[in-house]
């Protein structure tokens, strides 16, 4: 059974350094030996700078700057890096038309998992992604629909946690 977890940490992800640090973390070579890294609406060689540029363009340089979630798989369920990359791209293609998103496949643990990071500021109109319960459930359902297309029927959500009082 796949697991969906929204990473929500009060006081985190609120500056340019947070964006750079998280992108650097998810794309670390020791965690991504197959280099299955992708996204939508970002320069693949400068993911963090692409996100910072949009935030600056719309003068949205405060509060939460990005959102982070993880989709984890058991090895028997799905372990082929190419398939997991396709899942990452399919999820990115659902979120990307409105918010820049990047993902990376981590293969350094028993359970392969995809980290997703998306900009809290829409690259279309500068609108902020609220990140409340409603948006959590919408995000979960996007991931669930994509996984069903790959014949992964069960997606266990980890409990929603409010991000820094934004609901």
> Residue 157: enclosing H or E segment and its boundaries?
strand 155-157
Q: Tokens at residue 9, please?
A: 């940490």
Alpha carbon separation from 148 to 87, 91, 128, 144 (Å, rounded): 10, 12, 29, 6
Please give the model's pTM, rounded to 2 decimal places.
0.91
Q: Do the bridges between strand 66-72 and strand 2-7 make them parallel or antiparallel, or are there none, so unpaired?
A: antiparallel
Token pair 């796949």: residue: 2
Provide the H-helix boundaries in 27-110: 47-57, 81-95
**Rounded to whole angstroms, how far apart are CA atoms 127 and 36?**
29
Residue 166, classified by CB atoms within 10 Å of its CB into exposed (0-12), middle (13-18) or buried (19+), is: middle
Q: Which positions ≥6 away from 12 have C-beta within 8 Å? A: 18
Walk along the chain (167 residues) and give the pLDDT tens digit of each residue: 899 999 876 667 777 788 999 999 999 999 999 999 999 999 989 999 999 999 999 999 888 899 999 999 987 888 789 999 999 999 999 999 999 999 999 999 999 999 999 999 999 999 999 888 999 999 999 999 999 999 999 999 986 555 443 33
């Amino acid at each position: 059974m796949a697991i969906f977890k929204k990473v929500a940490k009060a006081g985190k992800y609120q500056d340019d350094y947070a964006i750079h640090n998280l992108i650097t973390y998810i794309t670390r070579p020791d965690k991504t030996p197959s280099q299955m890294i992708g996204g939508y609406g970002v320069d693949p060689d400068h993911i963090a700078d692409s996100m910072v540029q949009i935030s600056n363009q719309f003068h949205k340089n405060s509060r939460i700057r990005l959102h982070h979630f993880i989709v984890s798989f058991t090895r028997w369920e799905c372990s082929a890096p190419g398939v997991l990359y396709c899942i990452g791209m399919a999820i990115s293609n659902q979120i990307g038309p409105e918010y820049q998103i990047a993902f990376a496949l981590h293969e350094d643990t028993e359970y392969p998992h995809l980290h997703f990071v998306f900009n809290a500021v829409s690259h279309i109109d500068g609108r902020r992604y609220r990140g409340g319960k409603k948006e959590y459930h919408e995000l979960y359902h996007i991931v669930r629909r994509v996984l069903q297309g790959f014949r992964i029927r069960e997606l266990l959500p980890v409990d929603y946690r409010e991000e820094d009082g934004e609901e």
